Amino acid sequence: MKLHELTIHEALDLLQRREISATELTQAVLERIVAVDNDTKAYLTLTPEAACEEARTADELRAAGTDGALLGIPLALKDNICQIGLPTTCGSRILESFVPPYDATVVTRLRDAGVVFLGKTNLDEFAMGSSTENSAFFTTRNPWDLTRVPGGSSGGSAAALSANETLGALGSDTGGSVRQPASLCGVVGLKPTYGRVSRYGLVAFASSLDQIGPMGKDVTDCALLLSVIAGHDPRDSTSLDTPVPDYTQALRPELEGLRVGVPREYFGAGTQPGVEMALRKAIQVLADLGAKIGETSLPHTEYALPVYYLLAPAEASANLARYDGVKYGYSAPDAPDVWEAYRRTRQHGFGAEVKRRIMLGTYALSAGYYDAYYLKAQKVRTLIKQDFYRAFQEFDVVVGPTAPTVAFKIGEKAQDPLQMYLSDVFTIPQNLAGICALSLPCGFADGLPVGLQISGPVLGEELVLRVAYAYEQATEWHSQKPIIKKER
């Protein structure tokens, strides 16, 4: 096996046994990036010299007898996560020249664990989108079919993983942005419980929904990454002060006695038949592993999308008010007065989707409309939360498709925001409810990967990982790799 094809846990094994060095591993991944990133366009920024330096340090530390949970493992970060001294563009012109003077808490934790940072991956501008087509710089392509989108907004992270251009990655998930691209690219992605992972240093989109999540080539890698990045952080007042388990301890190959709910709202109209077929087979595998399967209902599912598209833009309109050309990034030159400077900075700096969200959000929050839209949406959010609460009284986890379709063509939905928004019908409810959910490969439709979504209660990461791991052990989907067209 080639080094860039390794999973994190396989690489750690070889590193610990001194069969490979972090330097060799990093070189192999960097060579892979040179070979395929022109096709996938997963990365916005690459830091090969720094990566080699960090790999050397990791080798020295290991030689000196020091260990770290991820010592010498090359990793990619979505470009809305701050890493000191590197551009953090958020896929936006307005932050093109922004270089954060500090590390996000997740980056500090990964650094302390010995990670080698490869660079920053592409995303939809400010994480608003489901295809990476909203990146101000370029569209990332799906390694399974370069004419298709990798999903979004963490499309760069998902494509990089799927094309073996990194061993692991971080994404962010506000309404599905870790899980949906993971599903479309055939990798594993986990959205942790709201508050499980610190948001300090994650550029805010919708603060009550945003959560950083691990992405990996398999479930074990996600468990390893989550064990490192999770935990309380005094710098994020919404971070939970509960102990972090070693998530790899939860991974067992059977599901005896586990209760798995299948929400009836997650099947039927709008879901591609091939996706539904793969899902039905996956549920049978869970049953064969000993799980008790039962039907359940999440009756307010149909309201999740409209609620999200009131609340997320409302929060975004407030969060993005800070980009006015004064403190961060782009500033329009030669404006005659301060108002004109704001206007020109934002007009030039933001792309169409971001402007649409700011307008939607400002409208929903404005006097006279607040009660009818924002407040009402908050109330329906509570109903959506209660749906899950009730389902988890009866079931340990609920399962369904991650996305209604496989990867779509580049350009297919770019002019139709509503169609694009529908990509997230099954992933948005979990963000609104604040619960955890994971997507992992469960088959193919039309030759493209399909994702199985496993949702668990608040702090139910161990359960979700356990179900995912058992399923993964019983199937071969995660070991299928794309042949990038140029290689054929």
Q: What track of x and - describes contact with ligand GLN for positions 179 through 208 (by CB under 6 A)?
A: --------------------------x---
Q: Look up 423 and say whether it is catalytic.
A: no
Cα dihedral angle (37, 38, 39, 43), rounded to 10 degrees?
40
Range in contact with ligand GLN (rule: CB under 6 A) among 81-89, 95-103, 170-178, 435-443 = 170-178
Range in contact with ligand GLN (rule: CB under 6 A) among 18-26, 121-129, 141-149, 233-241 = 121-129
Q: What track of x and - describes contact with ligand GLN for positions 217 through 256 (by CB under 6 A)?
A: ----------------------------------------
Range in contact with ligand GLN (rule: CB under 6 A) among 34-42, 43-51, 168-176, 389-397 = 168-176
Of 100, 119, 175, 325, which lies in the binding site for ligand GLN, with binding defined by CB under 6 A?
A: 175
Kindly give, in sequence order, each residue whose CB lies less than 8 Å from that of residue 60, ignoring residues fewer than 6 positions away: none
Tokens, residue 2: 């080639």
Please identify which of the residues 78, 120, 217, 413 carries the catalytic annotation.
Answer: 78
Residue nearest to ligand GLN (CB): 177
Q: Look up 153 and say whether it is catalytic.
A: yes
Nearer to ligand GLN, 28 or 437 (CB): 437
Count the site residues for ligand GLN by CB under 6 A. 13
In 3-state terms, what secondary structure has residue 55?
helix
What is the rounded CA–CA span in Å between residue 324 and residue 340?
10
Of 127, 219, 358, 465, which lies in the binding site for ligand GLN, with binding defined by CB under 6 A?
A: 127
Range in contact with ligand GLN (rule: CB under 6 A) among 135-143, 171-179, 212-220, 292-300 = 171-179
Nearer to ligand GLN, 140 or 174 (CB): 174
Please identify which of the residues 177, 227, 239, 455 carries the catalytic annotation.
Answer: 177
Nearer to ligand GLN, 68 or 214 (CB): 214
Residue 191 host element (H or E): strand 188-191
- Per DSSP bridges, beta strands 212-216 and 188-191 are antiparallel
Q: Considering only residues 276 through 335, tell me which ones interact with ligand GLN, judged by CB under 6 A.
A: 312
What is the rounded CA–CA span in Å between residue 15 and residue 54?
15
Of 7, 130, 239, 331, which lies in the binding site for ligand GLN, with binding defined by CB under 6 A?
A: 130
Nearer to ligand GLN, 271 or 345 (CB): 271
Give strand pairing partners of 451: 441
What is the rounded CA–CA span in Å between residue 51 and residue 48?
5
Tokens, residue 171: 């994404």
Beta strands in 351-477 (DSSP E): 397-401, 436-445, 448-456
Tokens, residue 415: 């002019």
Per CB under 6 A, 142 contacts ligand GLN: no
Q: Considering only residues 399 through 458, tell me which ones interact with ligand GLN, judged by CB under 6 A.
A: 424
Q: Look up 162 and say whether it is catalytic.
A: no
Of 72, 114, 119, 129, which lies in the binding site for ligand GLN, with binding defined by CB under 6 A?
A: 129
Please identify which of the residues 92, 130, 135, 153 carries the catalytic annotation.
Answer: 153
Tokens, residue 266: 């997650």
Of 59, 173, 218, 315, which lies in the binding site for ligand GLN, with binding defined by CB under 6 A?
A: 173
Q: Considering only residues 204 through 223, tell me which ones interact with ligand GLN, judged by CB under 6 A.
A: 205
Which of the 8 DSSP states describes residue 202? Answer: B
Range in contact with ligand GLN (rule: CB under 6 A) among 113-121, 122-130, 194-202, 338-346 = 122-130
Which of the 8 DSSP states describes residue 371? Answer: I
Per CB under 6 A, 156 contacts ligand GLN: no
Kindly give, in sequence order, each residue whose CB lies less than 8 Å from that of residue 484, ignoring residues fewer than 6 positions away: 36, 39, 40, 143, 146, 163
Shortest separation between residue 209's beta carbon and ligand GLN, angstroms: 8
Per CB under 6 A, 128 contacts ligand GLN: yes
Q: What track of x and - describes contact with ligand GLN for positions 366 through 405 (by CB under 6 A)?
A: ----------------------------------------
What are the DSSP calls for 380-433, one per residue?
A: HHHHHHHHHHHHHHH-SEEEEESSSSSPPBTTSSTT-HHHHHGGGTTTHHHHHH
- Per DSSP bridges, beta strands 397-401 and 259-263 are parallel
- The 10 Å CB-count burial string (b at 16+, else e) for 289-301 is bebeeeebebebb
Task: Tell me whether residue 31 is exposed, middle or buried, using C-beta atoms within 10 angstroms of its C-beta: 0 to 12, 13 to 18, 19 or more.
Answer: middle
What are the DSSP calls for 87-151, one per residue?
A: ---TT-GGGTT---SS--HHHHHHHHTTPEEEEEE--SGGG--SSSTT-SS----BTTBTTB---
Q: What track of x and - describes contact with ligand GLN for positions 55 through 74 (by CB under 6 A)?
A: --------------------
Of 21, 164, 177, 271, which lies in the binding site for ligand GLN, with binding defined by CB under 6 A?
A: 177
- Per DSSP bridges, beta strands 292-296 and 259-263 are parallel
Question: Under a CB-based contact definition with an 8 Å cutoff, are residues 434 and 193 in contact?
Answer: yes
Per CB under 6 A, 361 contacts ligand GLN: no
Q: How far is CA 336 from CA 342, 344, 363, in A?
A: 11, 11, 28
Which of the 8 DSSP states describes residue 333? Answer: T
Per CB under 6 A, 176 contacts ligand GLN: yes
Of 23, 40, 153, 164, which lies in the binding site for ligand GLN, with binding defined by CB under 6 A?
A: 153
Per CB under 6 A, 174 contacts ligand GLN: yes
Shortest separation between residue 256's beta carbon and ligand GLN, angstroms: 34
**Which active-site residues does the annotation give?**
78, 153, 177
Q: What is the binding site for ligand GLN (CB under 6 A)?
A: 127-130, 153, 173-177, 205, 312, 424
